[in-house]
A and B are shown apart, each in its own frame.
Chain A
C-alpha cells in the first residue's frame, strides 16, 4: 500500500513570496490533515478535511494560509505572502474511519 505522498520535499523562498504544497493521501482515506511542525516542537494541526469539506480550520492563519481539497482526494496548502516565522515542516496525514493517522514525509519550508 502506497503511503501519503507530499511534494516538494524542500522549498526555499523569500519573505512575501507565495508557496504551495501538495498532498496525495492513502487511497480510500476520507480524512486529510495538514500540520505545521516548527523546529523543536510537536506538530500543530492547521486544518482537517473530511472528504472535500472542512471539519476544523480554527488554527489556520486565514489571512495568509489557505487549503483546498476540491475532489476529496488530493489537497494543496498555500501561503501568501510568506513570513519568516512560517519556516517549518508542513506535514500531511490521512486516516481511515479508525483513529490512526498516517503521515507523509513532510515539506521543509525555509523563508529567508
Chain B
C-alpha cells in the first residue's frame, strides 16, 4: 500500500535559519511526490512537486529532490521567513490518489 511518514512538529526556527522537514514514502509503482502547504486560515496549496526519480521540485525558495533509492522527498529552505509559518504536508500520488503525511507545523520567530 501507499504511505507517507514525515517528521512530527512543531518545528520552531528563528528567521533566516535553515529548514529541513524529512519525508519518506512507500508506494506501489512510481508515484509523483508533492509538498502541500496550509497557511493559517487558508486552504491547502501545492508548494512543489516531482514526478520521477532525481527530479527536483522548487518554489518560493523551497526545494525537494525525489530520491528513489532512499524513498525520500525531504523539504529544504536555506533561509526561512516569518511568513513561512504554516503546516507542511508531504504527499504521495499513486494512480491519481493522494496519500498525505500527518503534517509538520513550522513556526518561524522573528
Pair from one complex: yes
Bitwise interface map of B from 7 to 19 toward A, beta carbon under 8 Å scored 1, else 0 = 0000000000000
Q: How far is the CB of A44 from chain B (nearest CB, A)?
A: 7
Residue interface bits B78-101, CB-to-A below 8 A is 1, else 0: 000000000001010100111011
Q: Kindly report which residue of chain B lies nearest to residue A4, judged by CB atoms.
A: B43
Taking chain B's interface residues, is the majority helix, strand, or loop, or is none over half, making it mixed? strand
Are A43 and B96 closer than 8 Å at their CB atoms? no
User: Do B44 and A103 have beta carbons less than 8 Å apart?
Assistant: yes
Q: Please tell me which one of the listed residues A45, A93, A105 contacts residue B42 in the complex, with CB atoms under 8 A apart.
A: A105
Least CB separation from A101: chain B residue: B98
Q: Which residues of A contact B93 (CB under 8 A)?
A: 99
Which A residues are in CB contact (< 8 Å) with B36?
Answer: 103
Interface range, A side: 20 to 34
| B59 contacts chain A at the CB level, 8 A cutoff | no
State how many angstroms separate the Cβ of A63 from the closest Cβ of chain B: 23
B71 within 8 A of A: no
List A contacts of B103 (CB < 8 A): 40-42
| B44 and A99 within 8 A (CB) | no
Residues of A within 8 A of B (CB): 3-4, 31, 33, 40-45, 48, 56, 91, 93, 95, 99-106
**New A-B contacts (9) at CB < 8 Å, excluding given A48-B96, A99-B32:** A33-B98, A42-B89, A42-B102, A43-B44, A45-B97, A93-B44, A100-B46, A105-B43, A106-B43
